[in-house]
Amino acid sequence: MPTATPSAPGVADPARGPFCLEAEVLENRRIAPLSWILKLHAPQLAPAIRAGQFVNIHTSPSIVPLLRRPMSIHRVIHSGGSAHGFCVLYDVVGPGTRHLSLLKPGQRLDVLGPLGNEVTVPAGTRRAVLVAGGVGVGPIKIVAEHLQERGVRDITVCYGGRDADHIVPSEEAAPHGCRVMVTTDDGSAGRRGRVTDSLRELMAQGRLARGDYLFACGPVPMFRAVRDLLGPLGIECEAATEEYMGCGFGVCNGCPLRQRQPDGSLAYRLCCTDGCIFPLSTLVFDGDEAASQPVGCRP
């Protein structure tokens, strides 16, 4: 059995981790031209996972790449009523993920997690819309399953990508019972357009309004477009942000984000420990008018 030790100081509940351990590869399969799902056996880590969290994976035994890669948890694997493993969904884009794609069942992988905060679904939520751009589809399935466990039955996934090569099958993107609306920039899968086109369609149908739960994960241009569409309507959205990280637990300060505070000022927050989930309306991105304002240090 691999050993696992809590790896962050000040954790109130050791059972929640994070843990640093060697997880055993159960399955590693290609599900689309560029996308893979990696299933890992980690019976000590898996029960601690909450929807929206991530793991930091040492993708190669060599020094290339030197740093771990943060990856959203796609879903938790259960057997006999208990959690014993988890999955990540990844695209092959560099040396680290190329090495991941070569892993075979029985091999082991150095994993740190679970890390970050979790989604916050208001009590009484009856309808949800989940927005994914590209590999940002990674956490959609676990969030949708969490919503279903809370009794939410009306769940729509708005999923966009560059082209068909960047889209995974709907059954991999979301659990059974969810409506999946696919758009691609060139129309080679689903409809031609952007995820915001799907959101506008839902609004026109009366299937998206204030009080619904919204969650988004994807690139900054998608975040900005979704924020600018929903903001004037007073519709809130949680965003699972993506940043390069050195450690994943707040020591290196390598993953800062700018966030607007209640008093209107801007402050730096860390994606790994303050997030990775933030209210989308509070985030300030490069290119925003507010990005030129002075930014305060983290308290």
Residues 6 or more apart whose CB falls under 8 angstroms from that of 235 comprise: 208, 209, 210, 212, 214
- Structural tokens at position 55: 């793991």
Q: How far is CA 172 from CA 70, 138, 142, 231, 234, in A?
A: 20, 9, 11, 30, 31
Confidence of residue 11 (pLDDT cuts 50, 70, 90): very low
Mean pLDDT for 195-207 is: 97
- Structural tokens at position 203: 């609004």
DSSP 3-state of 246: coil
What is the full DSSP assignment across 44-69?
A: TTGGG--TT-EEEEE--SSSSS-S-E
Identity of the residue numbered 155: I
- What CA–CA distance (Å, rounded) separates 233 from 155? 20
Q: Are 282 and 260 in contact (CB under 8 A)?
A: yes
Residues in the chain: 299
* Domains annotated on the chain, with CATH: 5-115 (2.40.30.10), 119-240 (3.40.50.80), 243-299 (no CATH)
What digits encode the pLDDT tens for the residues 133-156?
999 999 999 999 999 999 999 999
- What CA–CA distance (Å, rounded) separates 219 from 11? 31
Mean pLDDT for 8-28 is: 78
Confidence of residue 62 (pLDDT cuts 50, 70, 90): confident
Q: Are 49 and 82 in contact (CB under 8 A)?
A: no
The DSSP element (H or E) to which 24 belongs, if any, is: strand 19-30
What digits encode the pLDDT tens for the residues 244-296?
888 999 999 999 999 999 999 999 999 999 999 999 999 999 888 877 778 87
Q: What is the mean pLDDT of the chain?
A: 92
Strand partners, 12: none
Neighbours of 185 (CB within 10 A): 13
